[in-house]
Amino acid sequence: MNRLPDAIAAAAHAARPVGVFDSGLGGLTVLQALRARLPQEDFIYFADTAHLPYGDKPEHAIRARSLAIAENLVARGAKAIVIACNTATAAAAESLRDAIKVPVIALEPAVKPAVALSRRGIIAVMATTRTLHSQRFERLVHAYAGDARILAQPCPALAEAIEQEGAEGDTVQALLDRYVHPLALAEVDVVVLGCTHYPWVMQAIRARLPEGVVIVDTGEAVARQVEKRLLQESHLGGGGHFQLATSGDPEAVGQTIRRLCGLMPPVAHWEI
């Protein structure tokens, strides 16, 4: 039997991009980890800046928005979807897995590894209000906290301030003073960054904590999981390219990307 057509079809499928989305540009930290681990893959990154922030929206609205974006990415050829947003993961991950036929890899606050790393058993999770109030987060704490004390630190307006001002902005610094100081007083020994925007200010967070506190980011763990799923599906392959798109103003998004990471790539506008 001639297997050539099947092999050609498999290669074509493997060459399709991985779709990545976030409410804004925090998920670029996840995209960086993905491209570092999977340099041969193609990626489409969609920033839903016209609907930013997700953190204070009702769960049903986040779920509907996430589904619309995921379906659009699949229609554009995505062979897998990465939810590069903790808030969208909490609200919509299960719904997306039920609704679309490609693998869905989602973020979640790294409670399990934080517990393993903690010596003192006092762990802080910095995240949006929506993430910390979600059933998904409650399940993580119930499943993995054990005897550890988990301090949930909501950080309203921090993600938006990072996008608007960059990591060094005055508002960003004031918010970090407000949110990190109580964690230092509580003598935490592990801090989980439960929002993809927060790695942009990791050094500023570290500077406000006692020496030796471990900061956990989930970007590398997500990249490992994406690699695992693509290997399982025999879908590794591509040309190492990436495309950026937004529901908002492409020029403003491009300026924000330049402010955050020094790049000025082309950004497309998509109506979703």
Please provide the average confidence, as pLDDT, over all residues in the chain: 91
Give the whole-angstrom CA distance, residue 219 versus residue 31.
Answer: 8
Instruction: Point out the least confidently predicted range of 35-44, 83-92, 138-147, 183-192.
Output: 83-92
Give the whole-angstrom CA distance, residue 117 versus residue 256.
Answer: 34
263: pLDDT strictly greater than 90: no
Catalytic residues, by residue number, are 85, 195
7: pLDDT strictly greater than 50: no
Give the whole-angstrom CA distance, residue 190 versus residue 44.
Answer: 33
Q: Using an 8 Å Cβ cutoff, are 107 and 30 in contact?
A: yes
Q: What is the model's pLDDT at position 262? A: 77
2: pLDDT strictly greater than 70: no
- pTM exceeds 0.85: no
The phi and psi torsions of 49 (rounded to 5 degrees) equal -70, -20
Range ranked top by mean pLDDT from 51-55, 129-133, 182-186, 251-255: 182-186
Q: What is the model's pLDDT at position 5? A: 53
176: pLDDT strictly greater than 90: yes
Q: Using an 8 Å Cβ cutoff, are 201 and 162 in contact?
A: yes
Q: Using an 8 Å Cβ cutoff, are 253 and 47 in contact?
A: yes
Two tokens, residue 73: 């990415």
Q: What is the model's pLDDT at position 148? A: 97
| pLDDT band, very low/low/confident/very high, at 207 (cuts 50, 70, 90) | very high
Q: What is the model's pLDDT at position 8? A: 45
Q: What is the model's pLDDT at position 12? A: 55
Task: Give the mean pLDDT of 222-244.
Answer: 91
User: pLDDT for 69-118, tens place per residue?
Assistant: 999 999 999 999 999 998 899 889 999 999 999 999 998 888 999 999 99
Q: What is the model's pLDDT at position 87? A: 86
Pairing relation of β-strands 190-193 and 122-127?
A: parallel
**CA distances for 47 relative to 20, 31, 62, 238, 269, angstroms:** 9, 12, 14, 22, 10
Q: What is the 3-state secondary structure (H, E, C) of the chain?
A: CCCHHHHHHHHHHHCCCEEEEECCCCCHHHHHHHHHHCCCCCEEEEECHHHCCCCCCCHHHHHHHHHHHHHHHHHCCCCEEEECCHHHHHHHHHHHHHHCCCCEEECCCCHHHHHHHCCCCEEEEEECHHHHCCHHHHHHHHHHCCCCEEEEEECCCHHHHHHHHCCCCHHHHHHHHHHHHHHHHCCCCEEEECCCCHHHHHHHHHHCCCCCCEEECCHHHHHHHHHHHHHHCCCCCCCCCEEEEECCCHHHHHHHHHHHHCCCCCEEECCC
Two tokens, residue 221: 């763990």
| pLDDT band, very low/low/confident/very high, at 231 (cuts 50, 70, 90) | very high
1: pLDDT strictly greater than 60: no
The total of other beta-carbon atoms located within 10 Å of residue 16's CB is 20
User: pLDDT for 121-169, tens place per residue?
Assistant: 999 999 988 889 888 899 999 999 999 999 999 999 998 899 888 889 9
68: pLDDT strictly greater than 60: yes
Q: What is the model's pLDDT at position 145? A: 96
Q: Please give the domain boundaries of the chain with CATH numbers for all domains.
A: 4-107+220-269 (3.40.50.1860), 111-217 (3.40.50.1860)
